[in-house]
Amino acid sequence: MNPSGKRSKEPSSGGGDKPRDRVHLALLIVLLVLTIIYFRLHLREWVTGFALLGGTFTLWTLWKLVQSLLGEWAGFDPKALTFRLLRRPRACEHLIFALCVLALLLAVTSSIYVEHDASVGPEYEVEVLRDGDPYVEPIAVRSSDRIAGRPFLFAGSRELEFRVREMGDFRPQSRTVKSWTAVRIGRFQRKRLFVLRLVPGISLRNSLPRPDDQPQQRYELRAKVDGRDEKPIDDLRRGIVLLGAGSDDLERVHENHTEEALTRLLTEYFTSKRVPTEDQEPLLVGYQRPPQYLPTAELAKDQKVELSVVRLEKGEDAEEKIACLEVQMDEVAMDQIRTVILERGGCDEDV
């Protein structure tokens, strides 16, 4: 206070504490960079834009518009306000606190987004599974939205599987989702299955038990794919067998497949075996029963499949191969099913 008793004016803040101001400015730049990284990783797809007056405005465009209106109508200068705030003594504490909060958010935030795939359909749902159980509600994906999903907090690291709901035609995708990461699920690959349909010929069919029989002998169907043993059907009955994929895929292929080609093939087969016309219809009915499924790894073109039917006596260790066939998957019909007829014989013991 001067001798006149009047309070002297403080120095203008224009000069300020330059080293301190530089530190504040550097902290602000780091904060802005981390904010941009966080936004691009986890929020950009979530708040990518919205409709306004018939057009699409990004958040940055909207912010610039608000700044312009405030400057024009209220004399508000955002730049001047920013510099005034940075020159405050406690600005450093506030910036460091904001940086700590943002660093924590970066460390514990993960996000999952699914892009729309036109090959799947205009609208569909994607299931997100963890160890086979639903992890979150199915994500609804629509052609009107380019992408769907959201961020997650404190979710930790997890292995997730993404499946198109109620559409077995597409392969699932697996992803490892960790904190601080963003996962984008793009196009789903359509399955192309090569299914083998095994039809017991008349000579083998007459040896196999009917579906409702209680036989003393048991028959196994064994398969090798490129020399690798698959789990057999341990109680083979009369009828058709499908193999070459998992159970769900085999069932779906069977449900979506028409029987016209099979009926035509069997009719030609019966004629070649000189089966009387009046006896062909009962045989066809028997072949049209629901098939048995032999789940295997998915077959690929040019793979070799070795098939054998083994007869086992109940209570005895002895076994006998009664039918064998080697199939090269080089000819697959347009419906992705190759039909082969397995007759009795053809094993090495018969040579």
The C-alpha atoms of residue 147 and residue 280 are separated, in whole angstroms, by: 56
What pLDDT is attached to residue 351? 39
Those residues whose C-beta lies under 8 Å from the C-beta of residue 37, and which sit 6 or more positions away, are 106
What pLDDT is attached to residue 77? 63
Residue 216 has pLDDT above 60, yes or no: yes
**End-to-end CA distance of the chain, in Å?**
121
> Which residue, chain included where needed, has tokens 């984008």?
184
The C-alpha atoms of residue 138 and residue 165 are separated, in whole angstroms, by: 8
Q: pLDDT, tens digit, for every residue of 27-41?
A: 888 988 898 888 888
pTM of the model: 0.67
What pLDDT is attached to residue 291? 93
The C-alpha atoms of residue 147 and residue 43 are separated, in whole angstroms, by: 12
The C-alpha atoms of residue 93 and residue 112 are separated, in whole angstroms, by: 34
Q: pLDDT, tens digit, for every residue of 79-118?
A: 666 667 677 778 888 889 999 999 999 999 999 999 999 9
What pLDDT is attached to residue 152? 92
- Reported confidence tier of residue 49, pLDDT bands at 50, 70, 90: very low
Domains along the chain with CATH numbers:
18-108 (no CATH), 110-185 (2.60.40), 195-350 (no CATH)
What pLDDT is attached to residue 54? 40
Mean pLDDT of 45-50: 56
The C-alpha atoms of residue 16 and residue 131 are separated, in whole angstroms, by: 60
Instruction: Identify the CA nearest to 342 among candidates 260, 251, 223.
Output: 223
Mean pLDDT of 283-310: 90
User: Which DSSP category does 350 fall into?
Assistant: G
Instruction: Identify the CA nearest to 327 among candidates 351, 350, 346.
Output: 346
> Which residue, chain included where needed, has tokens 């341990």?
234
Tokens of 62: 């909207």
Q: pLDDT, tens digit, for every residue of 297-311?
A: 888 888 899 999 999
Q: pLDDT, tens digit, for every residue of 187-203?
A: 999 888 889 999 999 99
3-state DSSP call for residue 158?
A: strand
> Which residue, chain included where needed, has tokens 């990284």?
37
